[in-house]
A and B are shown apart, each in its own frame.
Chain A
Amino acid sequence: MPSDGSVVISTTRMNRILEVDVERRIAWVEPGVINLELTRHLAGTGLHFAPDPSSQSACTIGGNVGTNAGGPHCLLYGVTSVHVAAVEVVLPDGDVVVLGEEEGDAVGYDLRGAFVGGEGTLGIATRIAVRLTPDPPDVRTMLLDFMTIEEAADTVSAVIAAGMVPSALELMDQQVVQAVEPFANAGYSLDAAAVLIVELDGLPAGVAQEAEAVELLALQNGARSVRVAADEEERARIWKGRKAAFGAIATIKPAYYLHDTVIPRTRLAEVISGVNAIAERHGLIGMNVFHAGDGNLHPLLVFDDREPGIMDHVYAAGEEIVRLSLEVGGVLSGEHGIGLEKRRFMPLLFSPEDLAAQRLLRDAFDPEGVSNPDKVLPDGPSCGEIQDLPEVPEGTWV
């Protein structure tokens, strides 16, 4: 979404995998390489690229760097920033620099860390050195179903509280399951209020022990059934459904608006029922499919965009969802970034001093403000909006 008068630079065609160093577990790629293609390319090396957004069959590594993308498995393996060793960047003044180091920590300030998630406001990545992750020796994928969302959310909290960190903990509500099951044939229960995918990986003995513990906790918290994927094919189907969920929405309505906030895990159930109430009040369908393990919500507002005036409701409901998330102590975005859409909410989360400090960082990279103008920071024409916004709510954490 370019702002008025700006030029779009697309790096989609820079799609070569330049170098894979299996021994040092580093690959240099161009930004247009599709996330899943890199992992496919690595087949047989025992390595993979860990960030796996749901859109991984379509999204690019450059995009992953721009938004500091997550994905189901970042619960254990961390978001994109952890997996980027170095980036070659064309700075807004045309200088080409390499931020970060292939090995070890960069000397001085971690400018690589600042760049990842910069949403194109700090420059353009042209080559990226990504860290490759060894494939786990053993993986167990479990499918749990519940008759209430609360029970599923309680199970998530219980698993984490027990000291386990599954590689993924994903929750889907009934409407999402009903939309995607016909496509994926994943075996999700259509009559359950919520389906939880738990994936454990590591050494076989540890995985087996954890799987038993998860099953016990799930049953104690009201799980109706616990299924363990018998083979790779069944595991692939369970994930296919989760990762295709957004795309299946058109089976219900022609359009959706996807939100991305993070809330404390312990308040999942209450926020989801709040989200659904907001959607209902605005005549929209609220659906939920998200990274439950780290409290990263992805509420979907589902609607028919041919209905006159519907977009006003979609925007209003979206704002209420963001405010609700912040009220319970959450943050604006888990992995999709701020962009144009959420910059007006930035003052809800950050003080003017915080925002001024962020502005200084941006100015250091791009003093003239030419790189992806009008994104992320609320400035220029939106200054008025900042004044209108209320104080940062109590209990907000950053």
Chain B
Amino acid sequence: MTASSSPPTGGLLGLSDDALTSCVFCGLCLAHCPTYRVTGDERRSPRGRIALMRAADAGTTVRDAEWHESMDTCLLCLGCQVACPSAVPFNELMHDTRAAVAGVRGVPLWLRLGFAVLVRPRLLRGTSRVLALLQRLRLIPGRFPLPRRLPLRDARSRGRTVGDVVLFTGCVMDAWQPEVHAAVEEVLEACGTTVRRSGDAAGCCGAMHSHAGLEDAARSLAERVMAAIPADVPVLVDSAGCGAALRDYGSLLGTPEAAAFSDRVRDVHEWLAADIERMPAATVGERSTVVVQDPCHLRHAQGKHASVRSVLAPYAETVELDDDGLCCGAGGAFSVLQPGLSAAVRSRKTASIRRAMATTDAVVVVSANPGCAIHLATAGHVVRHPLEVVAERIRGTQEDAHGR
């Protein structure tokens, strides 16, 4: 996000002057900010954060603990950016601010260690196996932001080395929710599309590094992903957060190659919805009703949330939430970094989910992002990936409850 649309001010944070002054403080973003909604505190709102960025950039305020708290508590859900009539580039402003802060204040050691695990697929899988074992032994409390049942072994894959498309498998999702990739692969293959997985060579997309202001790390991960996926085929992503990150490589790296790569990236639902006719008819199971939760990085960052409904339509009834796409509070590492605020934001989402379930017979929530899925599952919801629901209806046999 440092490849800003305009030159920096020469201010203390090095933010873009045009970006900073593109906010007229009208307040139309406030209702779309999850942290403002639960705190009622201007400093937890996009408008307040931009005012504080301006003041810090101009040197008229001290960057004290409260200033940092204001920036650290942003979920980067981008609900504000979509709601803004003046198109304030809030994503760019917050990323640049975090990068400037990380350069001065640094990033806590334990967080850097966590990120170091993310980018080492074998280490991540090994750690996950240990966690899975501890979970079976009931040594990990249920409130921990982990899937309900971490896998003890890899899910099956056809293991193709060439394919019509590349499925981006990422880091945490590959280790923690392999059944989702398996379901996605199954649906794609059933549509007559051969799938090659990006696998360990591509690894982590770098979204969380970028959110934390570790721009150099994010850039080198982006380079690694691009190098591991050279073929000129569509890159499909089943995790909204990773999809948004991959789509952002063009501006992150600022090269024509990166822009061309970003152009090849599609959310898997978007890709399927573009030619819905090729999806096979439902052959098994009942047509159930599911509550659709839109991950912010699908709805606000990518604007592709409508495709989830199109793809589900032949297989399930969908119920909408009444909260106008407000974030669930997961926010990548946010649920670990800001557990109290994250849970408060989630309680609004769970209330909305309960209202949706009260008027229908839905018991399952679908979410196209692993972070949201884990976060909502920790609050007691049954959460599936939309394509898991589809896969079950075209499979022939019901999948067991593995990993739910």
How distant is the Cα of A354 from the Cα of B285 in the complex, in angstroms? 77
| Interchain CB contact under 8 A, B85 and A57 | no
Interface residues of B in 23-53 (CB under 8 A from A): 23-24, 26-31, 39-40
Interface secondary structure of B, over-half rule:
loop
Write out the residue numbers on chain A whose beta carbons fall within 8 Å of the beta carbon of B40: 10, 12-13, 15, 32
Give which listed residue, B30, B83, B86, B322, contacts A249 with CB less than 8 A: B86
The answer, yes or no, to whether A43 is at the interface (CB within 8 Å) is yes
The answer, yes or no, to whether A40 is at the interface (CB within 8 Å) is yes
Distance in Å: Cβ of B42 to nearest Cβ of chain A: 9
How distant is the Cα of A246 from the Cα of B29 in the complex, in angstroms? 13
Interface size class on chain B is 10 to 19
Write out the residue numbers on chain B whose beta carbons fall within 8 Å of the beta carbon of A184: 85
The answer, yes or no, to whether A248 is at the interface (CB within 8 Å) is yes
The answer, yes or no, to whether B61 is at the interface (CB within 8 Å) is no
How distant is the Cα of A247 from the Cα of B30 in the complex, in angstroms? 12
Write out the residue numbers on chain B whose beta carbons fall within 8 Å of the beta carbon of A172: none
Interface residues of B in 75-107 (CB under 8 A from A): 83-88
Give which listed residue, B24, B29, B39, B322, contacts A250 with CB less than 8 A: B24
Please tell me which stretch of A113-121, A251-259, A268-276 contacts chain B, meaning at least 4 of its Cβ atoms lie within 8 angstroms of it. Answer: A251-259
Distance in Å: Cβ of A239 to nearest Cβ of chain B: 13
Write out the residue numbers on chain B whose beta carbons fall within 8 Å of the beta carbon of A43: 322
Closest to B36 in A: A12
How distant is the Cα of A73 from the Cα of B27 in the complex, in angstroms? 21
The answer, yes or no, to whether A126 is at the interface (CB within 8 Å) is no
Write out the residue numbers on chain A whose beta carbons fall within 8 Å of the beta carbon of B26: 55, 58, 246-247, 249
How distant is the Cα of A180 from the Cα of B26 in the complex, in angstroms? 14
The answer, yes or no, to whether A183 is at the interface (CB within 8 Å) is yes
| Interchain CB contact under 8 A, A256 and B30 | no
B26, B27, B40, B87: most-surrounded residue (chain A CB, <10 A): B26
| Interchain CB contact under 8 A, B86 and A306 | no
Distance in Å: Cβ of B79 to nearest Cβ of chain A: 12
| Interchain CB contact under 8 A, B24 and A58 | no
Interface residues of A in 50-70 (CB under 8 A from B): 55, 57-59
The answer, yes or no, to whether B22 is at the interface (CB within 8 Å) is yes
Closest to A182 in B: B87
Distance in Å: Cβ of A23 to nearest Cβ of chain B: 21
| Interchain CB contact under 8 A, B322 and A247 | no
The answer, yes or no, to whether A386 is at the interface (CB within 8 Å) is no
The answer, yes or no, to whether A244 is at the interface (CB within 8 Å) is yes
The answer, yes or no, to whether A245 is at the interface (CB within 8 Å) is yes
Write out the residue numbers on chain B whose beta carbons fall within 8 Å of the beta carbon of A244: 28, 85
The answer, yes or no, to whether A36 is at the interface (CB within 8 Å) is yes
For B361-395 the 0/1 string (1 means CB < 8 A from A) is 00000000000000000000000000000000000
Interface residues of A in 341-389 (CB under 8 A from B): none
Interface residues of A in 220-249 (CB under 8 A from B): 244-249
| Interchain CB contact under 8 A, B85 and A254 | no
Write out the residue numbers on chain A whose beta carbons fall within 8 Å of the beta carbon of B39: 13
The answer, yes or no, to whether A34 is at the interface (CB within 8 Å) is yes
The answer, yes or no, to whether B398 is at the interface (CB within 8 Å) is no
Distance in Å: Cβ of B11 to nearest Cβ of chain A: 12
Give which listed residue, A34, A57, A183, A250, contacts B21 with CB less than 8 A: A250
Give which listed residue, B28, B31, B83, B86, contacts A251 with CB less than 8 A: B86
Distance in Å: Cβ of A195 to nearest Cβ of chain B: 16
| Interchain CB contact under 8 A, B31 and A249 | no
Write out the residue numbers on chain B whose beta carbons fall within 8 Å of the beta carbon of A59: 27
| Interchain CB contact under 8 A, B87 and A55 | no
Closest to A12 in B: B40
Closest to A59 in B: B27
| Interchain CB contact under 8 A, B24 and A247 | yes
Which positions in A face B, CB cutoff 8 Å?
A: 10, 12-13, 15, 32, 34, 36-37, 40, 43, 55, 57-59, 180, 183-184, 244-251, 254-256, 304, 306
Can you sample 10 A-B contacts with CB below 8 Å?
A: A10-B40, A13-B39, A36-B31, A37-B31, A55-B27, A57-B83, A58-B27, A245-B85, A248-B85, A248-B86
The 8 closest A-B pairs by CB, nearest first: A250-B86, A254-B21, A247-B85, A248-B85, A12-B40, A244-B85, A13-B40, A247-B26
